[in-house]
Amino acid sequence: MECRGGEPVRGGRECTTGAAGEPAAGQRRARLLADLRWGLAQPQKSLPSKYFYDTRGSELFERITGLEEYYPTRVETELLRNHAPTWMAALAPATLVELGAGAATKTRILLDALVAVRPSVLYVPVDVAGDFLREVSHALRADYPTLEVRPLVRDISLPFPPDFPLERPALFALLGSTIGNFDPEAAVDLVATVRDAMAPSDRFLLGADLRPGPGKSKEALERAYNDAEGVTAEFNRNILRVFNREAGATFDLEAFEHRAFYDEAKGRIEMHLVARRPTTVEAPGMAPVRIAAGESIRTEISCKYDRRTVTEIFQDAGLSLEAWVEDEAGRYALALAGVSADGDGGPESRS
């Protein structure tokens, strides 16, 4: 799913999954409670942003992507339209793996360009929102009869299943600046996880929201996270609904207001829920937590990039930048990378 960024997934690699990679209900509840206890015990209280994305959260985010203030979706879509046909013709991937697939709206641009070159391909959408992902997969099967769709309900920070068969070459895609989900160290870990699944013939396509510059003001960036309709505020509070419903927490949604701002020193947007008044949160197995008026819970970070920082992430993860394109205003970029010449790559024997 196109993700606006958030806290690095604490302990994500410890997550245990059931059939088709989907966490069993009891395991998910235990993880929710563990993340809740840990997050509310920190000096800066926080909640992992992966919990935004139940079905309602996914639908709210799809509304956000269509808002006037939220430029990343429009700009990334235009970049894909301009460059996907050339890249797909050159790469001719047999498999497309999309991390954080969501509604797969922009994926259709890649698929249209891909099936024009290679009609019979495998598409593997990876996302945490199981019901939403299955609906999207069903629609894609209907619209692309020659496409094999194998949805994988899974946290994208987990290593790609080593026994999951992929026809090569494969294109791994992480769009929507989902990379902003993670702080720099965790971003390298995420990309390295992808690189570990790559064969030398594979490529990695990354979407990255850029830092403010001559064509993009700080104010325009902040407006993307503070829309006039209040959809982002509702999306932000939805994380509390998830914890109340699935973990038995007692968040008072009306006690919190939305706040989002750009931290220039850290090069990232931060999104918070700020307590309007003193409030107490309870949950099974957790002592009551008092939150003072004015105190906040950080629900999201969204790191912003430039060519240098993206190149460094790729290099640290064992990839090499092969192509970089951005819009004329310098708001957003697509980066295409391959396995570094001195890297081992994933097992080509799985071709």
Residue 79: per-residue pLDDT: 98
Q: 71-214+305-339 has which CATH code?
A: 3.40.50.150
Contact between residue 60 and residue 234 where contact means Cβ atoms under 8 Å apart: yes
Residue 127: per-residue pLDDT: 83
- Secondary structure class of 122 (helix, strand, coil): strand
pLDDT tens-digit profile of 228-270? 999 999 999 999 999 999 999 999 999 999 999 999 999 999 9
CA distance 150 to 123: 6
Residues of the chain with pLDDT under 50: 1-22, 344-351
Question: In angstroms, how far is the first alpha carbon of the chain from the final one?
Answer: 27
CA distance 296 to 293: 9
Residue 234: per-residue pLDDT: 98
Contacts for 307 with CB less than 8 Å, ≥ 6 apart? 324, 333
Residue 95: per-residue pLDDT: 95
pLDDT tens-digit profile of 281-319? 999 999 999 999 999 999 999 999 999 999 999 999 999
Residue 23: per-residue pLDDT: 55
Contact between residue 47 and residue 299 where contact means Cβ atoms under 8 Å apart: yes
CA distance 171 to 175: 12
Residue 18: per-residue pLDDT: 35
Residue 339: per-residue pLDDT: 97
CA distance 227 to 298: 18
Contact between residue 103 and residue 125 where contact means Cβ atoms under 8 Å apart: no
pTM: 0.86
